[in-house]
Structure 1
Amino acid sequence: MINLNPETLVSAIICVNFFSIGLYTFLIRQNRSKTASLFLLSFCISLGLNQLYDLLVFNGVYGNYFRFLDEFSLLIAFSSLYFYIASLTQNLFRFQKKHIVHLIPILIFLLIWVFPLPIIEQYHNISFLRILYKYYNNIQGIIYVFLINGLVNQHQQILKDLTSTARENDLNWVRIMVILLLIVIVFWTLSGFEKDWLNLTGYSLLIFSYWLGYHIIAQKGIYRSMLPELEVAELKQREKRYKNSTLSVLEKSEMVEHVKHLMETEKPYLNNELTLTSLADRLQMKPIHLSQVLNEEFKENFYSFINRYRVNESKKMLLESRYSHYNILGIALESGFNSKTTFNKAFKENTGISPSEFQRTSTRAS
């Protein structure tokens, strides 16, 4: 007879949620690529199987094979989530030899189950191994949380070589997902010491499943419209910056003058959607060459370079009488920024003070 207590119902709902998210993504959505969809399917099915194990336990069904299902599914889940985020944030993502390291924990786990080692069989006599074995998946989960956060930070840094507009909001759903997952892992770890935490683990995972489902359906993919720019940045990384560049010193010097002339005469930075590729097209340069000139000759990435010009333009506007009726947001938009927050941050980074302070001190000085 099925045990219909709250824990059973929560596990059943979570199980259905994850199976549904995975199948929906793979069969219908296929967000940005089949590769990303496969990894998300693997993540969701793995967590669904993990909750299926809990359902079996709550209903008195035990056995080594079911225990294997519980532990192995979590090993697959964390690595699958990592590769899902990697395939979303890296346009040229391919599974490479360096990624084999993520399979090592899985292989070790399989070897232990198929060929149990005496030291593992007696792990309960060794405190360190007891803790390691009991919290192996918890430790792995925390490690992957930090690895995923690293992918997001790396992607954000790459974008500063590509675009002049801050787009942090496009990655907020990934950052929040990482935080929610970390909360689930913390509750899960605490439940190993005190069983009362087990309920919080279930409820937090339930919230996580609904939150993930909503954002997987709602999110449009990361920077789908910026695929050419992403390819430039990722190719640049693979080439280890500009090691294989054929640009001579003279060519770079000419490009510097060309860039300066265009920036001062045509003011392309006033376009708040300006990207590396679009500016390179106007300069009749290859994007990779423009990126090299900015980084090596101007000592700035694209984001900093463009925003420096925008800040200088805004400083003029703040002091000109014809812009006196503009508020700070109006000045920000007129000078090429797309938000007041981004404007204030860039202005302070370039001048050391806020736009309002600059306007006040300059007015008093005059």
Structure 2
Amino acid sequence: MLSKNYSLVVIFFLLLPIYLIPQTADGSLIDCNLAYTTTSSKLINEYSAEDFYVLGLCEYQSNNYIKAYDHFISAKSLGFADKKVLHKFIAECRKKITNLSENELPILESNNQLEVNNYKHKVQVYLLNIIFIFIAISGLITSALLIFKHRTEKSNMFLGFFLIVTSLTLIELVFYWQDFFSYTPNVPIYRVLFFLIAPSLYLYLKTKHTETFPARKEIIFHYVPFFIVLLFLIVLYNLHDTNNMLLNGMDWAMNSNWVKAIHLSAYLVLIIADFEKINKHIARGFKNWMLTLIVFIAILTIFIVARATFEHIYVFDYISKYFIAVYLILFIVALEILMIIQPNIILDTIQIQEANKPKNKYKNSSLTANMTISVKAQVLDSLNIDKIYLDNTLTLTKLANKINVDRYSLSQVINQELKKNFYELINDHRIEEAVRIIKTKPTIQVVDLIYECGFNNKVSFYKAFKKRMHMTPKEFIEKKDK
């Protein structure tokens, strides 16, 4: 019995050196001397994710935990395949490093330029990620304003959904990039959220220039890809059968950049076709905004196609994510600036010019002659007595709700009876109010005049004033004083 136990002990000590030799992710043994020799013949920017992982294992085995940690992080940034094993080593290195005393921590040598550059790079990444988080949070706040404060214009709800998706995508990317979050999902949520981007923008633009909200079936139809991918995610990661062809196909479809590129391209075609129908019938400001969104989706499509084409290059995959993140950041900032400078372009319904509308537009209208007279009287009372035009958040829907009529009938009465569209009618009264204010308050500043007569930004006020008075507000005031 003793002899048998002795034999087991001998076998254990004979096999112990094998277990101490570092292994790759697939369990094969590593020759660290060969690894150091192989990598020394390369430039550091030529190292693959596997190279960094192997070097990290060797440094870990030598108890050089800080160097091992840096190598493992580099392997992660280049998209090392076995993320579970990699993050296990990263976590172990963190524990080991925090247990080191100050005397054991290495001092950064002044002549080690590589270490210095790596440190600077990390600081830059941290600052960039802080900016990403800050703008993503501002995007969520803006989306809340669109969905709740400006919900009277239904199109704003879809723009709000778009902002929520892009903001959450940015936040998740920061979680993925920052090491201290240890965020390594099998499938990032932003890959599922991606299928909400194009449909939300399409429905926003379509609802913006029509007087009817999309039917429930139409909305569900456009969001079906999102729900399918979400279902795939739930099923796929609760069934761990790697030999199942259906599950493998689902996994490919959910992660394929080519599928995403086709999805974006389809909506790009739909939006361009929709734009072509109304291009000649809308004001320049709305036209430019629609073109901006078309260009946004076109560039995003190019990014995704490039990622699909060069997805085998780890460095490109990593860098392209940063480019897309920066692109989304710039778009959110531009959108928020436009909401301050020209809120009517973003928030209001696109008005189709009356001259280009078909003559039989209202042929199926249910409005009777008496109803038309009643609605017209209520509109004029709201304007002349209540001065509703002084409300700088006034929209067609808001006025319709006030006089208890549907917006379609209200639009018909304004167009047919008052021979104007809604915004022309409101701006006419606002400019008349501005002229009255100037006559009673000759010393009033233009900046105060803008808000007193119902406008909410300088650009819209100047444009409307000059169109009706054929001079700027300042010129009108100076002419009156003479």
- TM-score normalized by structure 2? 0.41
- 1:124 Cα deviation from its structure 2 partner: 10
Match in the other structure for 1:119: 245
CA distance in 2, matches of 1:225, 1:103: 24
Task: List runs of 5+ in structure 1 lacking aligned partners.
Answer: 160-165, 246-275, 284-366
The 5-angstrom pairing of residues 100-111 of structure 1 reads 100-111=220-231
CA distance in 1, matches of 2:178, 2:159: 29
Q: Which amino acid aligns with 2:160?
A: L
Match in the other structure for 1:170: 286
- 1:41 Cα deviation from its structure 2 partner: 1.6
- 1:278 Cα deviation from its structure 2 partner: 8.4
Do structure 1's residue 53 and structure 2's residue 172 form an aligned pair?
Answer: yes
Match in the other structure for 1:291: none
Match in the other structure for 1:219: 343
CA distance in 2, matches of 1:50, 1:137: 15
Residues 1:224 and 1:106: Cα distance change in structure 2 (over 3 Å): closer
- TM-score normalized by structure 1? 0.52
Contact kept, 8 Å, 1:32 with 1:224, in 2: the verdict is no
Do structure 1's residue 208 and structure 2's residue 324 form an aligned pair?
Answer: no
Q: Secondary structure at the match of 1:115?
A: helix
Q: Which amino acid aligns with 2:191?
A: E
Q: 1:138 aligns with which of 246, 258, 261?
A: 261
Match in the other structure for 1:16: 137
- 1:76 Cα deviation from its structure 2 partner: 1.9
Q: Which amino acid aligns with 1:56?
A: F
- 1:182 Cα deviation from its structure 2 partner: 2.2
Contact kept, 8 Å, 1:14 with 1:205, in 2: the verdict is no
Q: Secondary structure at the match of 1:201?
A: helix
Q: How many residues align?
A: 235
Contact kept, 8 Å, 1:173 with 1:215, in 2: the verdict is no
Q: Secondary structure at the match of 1:135?
A: helix
The 5-angstrom pairing of residues 1-366 of structure 1 reads 5-6=124-125, 7-28=128-149, 30=150, 33=153, 35-60=154-179, 61-64=182-185, 67-116=187-236, 118-123=244-249, 133-156=256-279, 159=281, 167-192=283-308, 193=310, 194-195=316-317, 196-217=319-340, 218-221=342-345, 226=351, 236=361
Contact kept, 8 Å, 2:257 with 2:304, in 1: the verdict is no
Q: Aligned Cα RMSD in Å? A: 4.2
- 1:223 Cα deviation from its structure 2 partner: 7.1
Contact kept, 8 Å, 1:89 with 1:151, in 2: the verdict is no
Contact kept, 8 Å, 1:79 with 1:144, in 2: the verdict is yes
Task: List runs of 5+ in structure 2 lacking aligned partners.
Answer: 1-93, 95-121, 311-315, 366-411, 420-482
* Pair member with larger Rg: 2
CA distance in 2, matches of 1:99, 1:20: 24
CA distance in 2, matches of 1:40, 1:155: 20
Q: Which amino acid aligns with 1:59?
A: Q
CA distance in 2, matches of 1:227, 1:54: 40
Contact kept, 8 Å, 2:166 with 2:328, in 1: the verdict is no
Contact kept, 8 Å, 2:208 with 2:350, in 1: the verdict is no
- Quote the sequence identity (%): 16
Residues 1:203 and 1:277: Cα distance change in structure 2 (over 3 Å): same
Residues 1:226 and 1:71: Cα distance change in structure 2 (over 3 Å): closer
- 1:123 Cα deviation from its structure 2 partner: 4.1
- 1:167 Cα deviation from its structure 2 partner: 2.4
Q: Deviations over 1:202-228 (max 9, x none)?
A: 322222111122223423148759589
Residues 1:32 and 1:181: Cα distance change in structure 2 (over 3 Å): farther
